Amino acid sequence: MKVLKLSLFALLLLAPLQLSAQVLYEYFDRPSRSSILPREWIAMHGHSSVCPVRTDWDNRSLIFGGCESKWLSGWLRPVPELELGRVGTYYYEFSLEDTELNHHIGVSLTRPQRFKILSHFTAHVVLRESATGDGVDLLVSEPGGKVTTVVTGLQPAYERYYGLWMVVDMKNFCFDIYLKEAGSGEADREDLLAEKVRFNKPVDRPICTFAMLTRWSGEDVRGLLRMRNFAYAKGVSLGSVDYHGSLANLR
């Protein structure tokens, strides 16, 4: 088991990102002044008990809360498609605002409108309150519903973001996970937490959906997870975010 030790750091506010749609796929397009989330996000089953959920439009981030229900609930959106026989990298950043988490995050070949159960994930990770009571653990999902802890003791801290790279291999039907402090450069072998993890189930069509789902994750107003910088790149791409206005090395 690998324990991640990260230092606190000061994070500059994001400037508007001027990027190709093939790199950054979430532009925080606001359909109306009353919109809770950017365009294209939908609630699982047409409604969601994940509450609160809101968008920090100024800082281009999404805040997902907890869910006391035993029923899986959450939010989904389309992503750039990854065809059979190809490799691609899905990237995002997350910040822990407390520890009462049980959040499942990943990609799927099931369209957002048809996503109903946990096994619809093709590849995903879990952020969960640590069994030790000290922080949050990161786990990877494996076939048969098994999950394996790869990082323990992630701590909530104001403006501390982690960058996560999920390299999805549609040739060999597996994925790798890299994690490091956001804004600290490219990921490398030292940041590789899980390698060649098999997909949850066989695949016969492209990856097309990103999902953030949860259940049994504390009171509604707790279990808060902040997410931003949703990006995609063809091939294995382990670059980092340039906070001055571009995504560096995500190519």
pLDDT in tens, 25-43: 999 999 898 899 999 999 9
State residue 196's pLDDT score: 97
State residue 211's pLDDT score: 97
Give the C-alpha separation, 145 to 53, whole Å: 27
State residue 52's pLDDT score: 78
Give the CATH class of 42-240: mainly beta
| Residue 80 predicted with pLDDT over 60 | yes
State residue 221's pLDDT score: 62
CA angle (170 as vertex; 164, 173 as ends), nearest 5: 90
Give the C-alpha separation, 116 to 128, whole Å: 21
Complete edge-to-edge strand list for the sheet that includes strand 42-43: 42-43, 73-82, 207-214, 102-108, 123-129, 136-141, 147-154
At 218, the pLDDT band (50, 70, 90 cuts) reads: low
Computed over its alpha carbons, how large is the radius of gyration of the chain? 17
State residue 172's pLDDT score: 96
| Residue 107 predicted with pLDDT over 90 | yes
- Give the residue from 105, 100, 109, 143 showing the smallest Cα distance to 125: 105
pTM: predicted TM-score of the whole model, two decimal places: 0.86
Q: Is the Cβ–Cβ distance between 245 and 15 less than 8 Å?
A: yes
Task: Point out which residues pair with 163 in neighbouring strands.
Answer: 93, 180
Give the C-alpha separation, 221 to 53, whole Å: 9
Segment 96-110 shows an average pLDDT of 94
